[in-house]
Structure 1
Amino acid sequence: MCFTYILYSESLDKFYIGHTCESLDERLRKHLSDHKGYTSKVKDWKIIYSEIFENKSDAYKKELEIKSWKSKTKIKKINRKFSWIEHSDFLNRNGLNSK
């Protein structure tokens, strides 16, 4: 099982779009750890959206589709549209739902 996901940083008011075949919990932990990369600038990233795929290729295609939108407005709409979805991989400490 793989995921396409969107992270949001309130302090930067920026989104990060990615995909992974790890659990979302583990992937977010890596984004919040000390590393060099786009998400290393701040430690307030939260998963605001994710979608499940059967394979990495499909998850990557969805990531590229979302990135091609180049629009905060459209990304915010997808978050509102699917905000009712709960994922067991979300972390309580990040203000997200957990089962």
Structure 2
Amino acid sequence: MENKAEEVACHTSGRKSHHPERVKKDLTTRLNRIEGQIRGIKGMIEKDIYCDDVITQISATQSALNSVARILLEGHLKGCVVDRLSEGDNEVLDELVVTIQKLMKK
């Protein structure tokens, strides 16, 4: 994986992120694939596919979502957090702790 997240930069006023088009395209492609995986899992359940096979697909989908989260978190750290710290906004560290706690609940 290239270091795509390095190019992700967040904008703090209005709490928006500004992703380069290449990163947005990559994330959108990944999320579209995940959406397809979810539809596939639903179809497997409707067709009474063996539980272990469904669980395997769920695990793959969770891994794909974690990959998206890693890209976003890395970009957030290298963009938003660094920028806000350089502006003297230490509150971003508390926000970051909460964000990491959310990711670790999984």
Query: Scaled by the length of structure 2, what TM-score is found?
Result: 0.30
Q: Give the TM-score of the pair, scaled to structure 1.
A: 0.31
Structure that is richer in strand per residue: 1
As a proportion of its length, which structure holds more helix? 2
Q: Which has the higher contact order (CA 8 A, sep 6+)?
A: 2
